[in-house]
Structure 1
């Protein structure tokens, strides 16, 4: 038996003993989870999920050790230390080949990252080995590698899709882990000015260390006015929206400059965002973004973490054991923690 996290409804998170995961397909692998975590997107069902008698297996971010592999797995062997992205993909379909793994024709979303072990479908196409690292590695290194399963590379995806370039002004909306990853990514891509819109001082302080040149705590019309003031009325070349709620999008089109780009990676919690004359059309502004194909960026990001060029694992500010995952959810929901790591 292994311990695994389930959500049974809004605010109802439980850790249960369940049978060990087993290979179901020849392309599967079983991963013993070394570190998992709670994502800001997990708080959406935590707020709104209808009550369920069976519960939903939780966790889509993990690093771990390969325990066993199916007969058709060729790139992984038991004992390999791997990063497991939040999306499962075969790695060979047309969309995977074009770098959009989250649109894989055989794809799905990872589940079981907040558990002691998980079954990984399409293991060859999904997991990536980390050379020279095992589970005894320094905690700071493990933390940074864990961010590559989702949050840091989701921030990178936002900046990549917006084509952030040297000399630009970039505004990041949201001071969660993804937003801070976007700040770090914009700095790496050479942005001259990075404005972080957030009001939680501990988070925005880390944002400044990651590269933010300005912090705007105001929201809504006041926040828009403040960014326009900072940019001499011109607005921001790029806006990276890492929240997913309608007010964040409204701020985004309020501050993007004519000819600019809005890149959205916050999981949308509203339908049909306005894109008319007053939002995008009148400014000749573009909108891009979506679920991050982190697999497309992993090898390069692993190299930068191992070299010490980046340390995105600093977003973790609390570690819980598997039994205390419900308390980790409560801490993130109460904004007592930025991001909670799970140590099975």
Structure 2
């Protein structure tokens, strides 16, 4: 099979790999039809995060079940499924608490199971990981493209809003205008926020944020942006979604949260200094988040997508086939695309 492979900073190669096979009775083999390139993939692509030479890449698979192990009961061959970025058993202490990203038996897609930017993946713990798409939508391309962000960015944006304690009538600030930040805007709107201030640096993305429900946008940088956000929120917001993970974004979130407020953080932290913690300390602000347990939110969000009240698909501003994945990485690295969808097959 063909799959995308990491060969060093700035180098993603499409190579022939062995097709994964059933190894355990809880496994399933999925023929990938859709997948995506994630903003978090750019960390290793830019050489800012370790990744082994030759490692398969990708963690947002959607496809059709080809084969299942003897203990798989929740899906069967022919089912259309999608899967969160984290593999989880669905049965351990942490899965039962809704913390699937802390699964005691968890794994990732870029280990020895094929990588999700390829033609096939092996899903360990298929009962706990794979989410079945209702049959009536199994071949509905529009529905599938709207569901694909539930593998990661829509669930992650939702987790930021939940951790920021967003409720009906609230004012929320979303730090970051990437795919996760834009989905954070959607999530805050879905939870009933009355005012949503989106902070970012790209006018096209902030325009999409407005379409998603942002009532105001801040495009300035540094202290100017912080002052503008604080002015818009009369001294700070009680609900702040940090959707980047970079040091500047964390500092911004810490400075725009209102005393006693809540910061929900879902960007993977890449910081040299943790001075932002002092800001949180003196504001008595809560700081809650981490890797989003996307599996916990999948069915809830899928209902809204399929009934037409939630559509995150506009975050995909470029579509490639599997051979075009290297170009997709470059487009995202150069900020020429918000998020790239990969059509692998029918």
CA contact (8 A) 1:175 1:196 kept: yes
Residue 247 of structure 1: aligned partner: 248
| Stretches of structure 2 lacking an aligned partner (at least 5 in a row) | none
Query: Cα offset for 1:184?
Result: 0.4
Residue 136 of structure 1: aligned partner: 139
Q: Which moved more, 1:47-56 or 1:264-273?
A: 47-56
Query: Cα offset for 1:79?
Result: 0.3
Write out per-residue CA displacement over residues 75-95 of structure 1, whole angstroms, 9 at most, x where no aligned residue. 111001111110001100010
Given candidates 148, 151, 154, the residue that maps to 2:150 is: 148
Query: Cα offset for 1:56?
Result: 1.4
CA contact (8 A) 1:34 1:135 kept: no
Equivalent-residue separation in structure 2 for 1:247 and 1:162 (angstroms): 19
Indicate whether 1:75 and 2:74 are aligned: yes
Equivalent-residue separation in structure 1 for 2:258 and 2:53 (angstroms): 48
Residue 118 of structure 1: aligned partner: 121
Equivalent-residue separation in structure 1 for 2:324 and 2:191 (angstroms): 38
Write out per-residue CA displacement over residues 57-78 of structure 1, whole angstroms, 9 at most, x where no aligned residue. 1000011100001111111110
In the TM superposition, 1:158-197 aligns within 5 A as 158-197=160-199
Equivalent-residue separation in structure 2 for 1:324 and 1:289 (angstroms): 34
| Stretches of structure 1 lacking an aligned partner (at least 5 in a row) | none
Equivalent-residue separation in structure 2 for 1:290 and 1:240 (angstroms): 12
Equivalent-residue separation in structure 2 for 1:53 and 1:34 (angstroms): 26
CA contact (8 A) 1:27 1:69 kept: yes
Equivalent-residue separation in structure 1 for 2:122 and 2:271 (angstroms): 32
Residue 295 of structure 1: aligned partner: 295
CA contact (8 A) 1:238 1:262 kept: yes
CA contact (8 A) 2:251 2:276 kept: no
TM-score, structure 2 as length reference: 0.95
TM-score, structure 1 as length reference: 0.95
CA contact (8 A) 1:143 1:314 kept: no
* Structure 1 stretches of 4+ moved >6 Å: 50-53
In the TM superposition, 1:22-37 aligns within 5 A as 22-37=21-36
Indicate whether 1:11 and 2:14 are aligned: no
CA contact (8 A) 1:64 1:135 kept: no
Write out per-residue CA displacement over residues 292-340 of structure 1, whole angstroms, 9 at most, x where no aligned residue. 1111111111111110011111110111010110000000000111110
Equivalent-residue separation in structure 2 for 1:50 and 1:248 (angstroms): 18
CA contact (8 A) 2:137 2:143 kept: no
Equivalent-residue separation in structure 1 for 2:59 and 2:44 (angstroms): 14
Query: Cα offset for 1:275?
Result: 5.4
Query: Cα offset for 1:49?
Result: 5.7
CA contact (8 A) 1:81 1:133 kept: no
Given candidates 228, 231, 234, the residue that maps to 2:230 is: 228
Sort the Cα spacing of 1:49 and 1:193 in 2 relative to 1 into closer, same or farther, 3 A: closer
Equivalent-residue separation in structure 1 for 2:231 and 2:295 (angstroms): 38
Sort the Cα spacing of 1:330 and 1:23 in 2 relative to 1 into closer, same or farther, 3 A: same
**RMSD between superposed Cα atoms in Å:** 1.5
Sort the Cα spacing of 1:270 and 1:302 in 2 relative to 1 into closer, same or farther, 3 A: same
Equivalent-residue separation in structure 2 for 1:268 and 1:127 (angstroms): 27
CA contact (8 A) 2:247 2:273 kept: no
Equivalent-residue separation in structure 1 for 2:42 and 2:319 (angstroms): 17
Query: Cα offset for 1:20?
Result: 1.2
Residue 261 of structure 1: aligned partner: 262
Equivalent-residue separation in structure 2 for 1:115 and 1:52 (angstroms): 17
Query: Cα offset for 1:274?
Result: 3.1
